[in-house]
Amino acid sequence: MLITQLKPKEDLLSFISGEKVFILQCYGCAEVFLPKEEINLFLEELNNSGTLIVKNIISDYLCNYEYTKLRINLWAEELKKSEKIVIFSCGIGVQVVSTILNQVSSISHQSPVTSHQIYPGCDTLYLNGFQGLTPFNFDCAQCGQCFLNYTGGICPLTSCAKSLLNGPCGGAKNGKCEVAGPAGIVMDCGWEKIYKKLETIGRLDILKEVIKLRDYSKR
C-alpha cells in the first residue's frame, strides 16, 4: 500500500525474542515497496536465535477488512499458540488486524488475543503521491515511526485532532473531541479510545512508560 521500512531490529527483538511468534506479512502493495529481503533475513536470524515462529503467513491486502477477517478465522489455532504477533505491513494493515483480533477473540471464546501482543514490524514512510487504497475507516499518517504497539493499535496521529503522543489534552467532552474533524464530522476523542482499548487488554502500564516525541525528519 505504502512505502515501509523494517523497524529497528533492537526494537523488534526486545519485543519478541524467545517467544512464540506469529508472523504476518502483507504483499498487497508489495510492488510499491515492502522490504521483503530484509524481513526474510530478519526472520532467519530470529529462527536461529531460539524464537519459535509458529506460523509465517504471507497475505494480500491486510487493509481489506472483510477479507482479512475471514482469513484470520482460519489461523485461529496457530494464533492461540502464539504469544506475540508481528505484522509486516503499513500502519493500516496493523490497525485492521488489531481491530479484528479483538473481535475474533470475543466471538470464538478463545483466550483473548490482545493488541499488546501485536507489534508493527515496519515503519510506514511517506510516499509522495501515493495515499493508500484502503476504503475503510483507518488512517495511517505515514509518520515513519509507527506508534501502534504503544497505543493498542489505534493511531494517535490520525485519531487525535492534535496528534498528541502522550495522552489526552483535556478538551474532550462526553467522549467527543473539542474540535470537529474534516467536513465538520464530530469525532470521538482518540485518546479516550486508546485508553479504553488498553484498559480492556489490561495494558495501561504501557502508557506511563516513556515520553514520546515525533521525529519530523522521518516525514
Q: Where along the sequence are the contacts to other proteins (CB under 8 A)?
A: 161-174, 178-180, 191-192, 195, 199, 204, 207-208, 211-214, 216
Q: Which amino acid is located at 156 in the chain?
A: P
177 is an interface residue for ligand SF4 by CB under 6 A: yes
Residues sharing a CB contact under 8 Å with residue 189, sequence separation 6 or more, in sequence order: 160, 168, 171, 172, 175, 176, 177
Beta bridge partners of 24: 57, 87
| Binding partner of 213, given other proteins, ligand SF4, none, CB within 5-8 angstroms per partner class | other proteins
Member of 172, 196, 214, 219 binding ligand SF4 (CB under 6 A)? 172
CA dihedral 130, 136, 139, 142 (to 10 degrees): -30
d(CA 149, CA 136) in angstroms, rounded, equals 20
Q: How far is the CB of 165 from ligand SF4 (least distance, A)?
A: 10
Residues in contact with ligand SF4, shown as a per-residue x/- string from 60 to 89 under the rule CB under 6 A? ------------------------------
Choose the stretch contacting ligand SF4; rule: CB under 6 A; options: 20-28, 107-115, 132-140, 184-192: 184-192
d(CA 137, CA 155) in angstroms, rounded, equals 12
Binding site for ligand SF4 (CB under 6 A): 160-162, 164, 168-169, 171-172, 177-178, 189-191
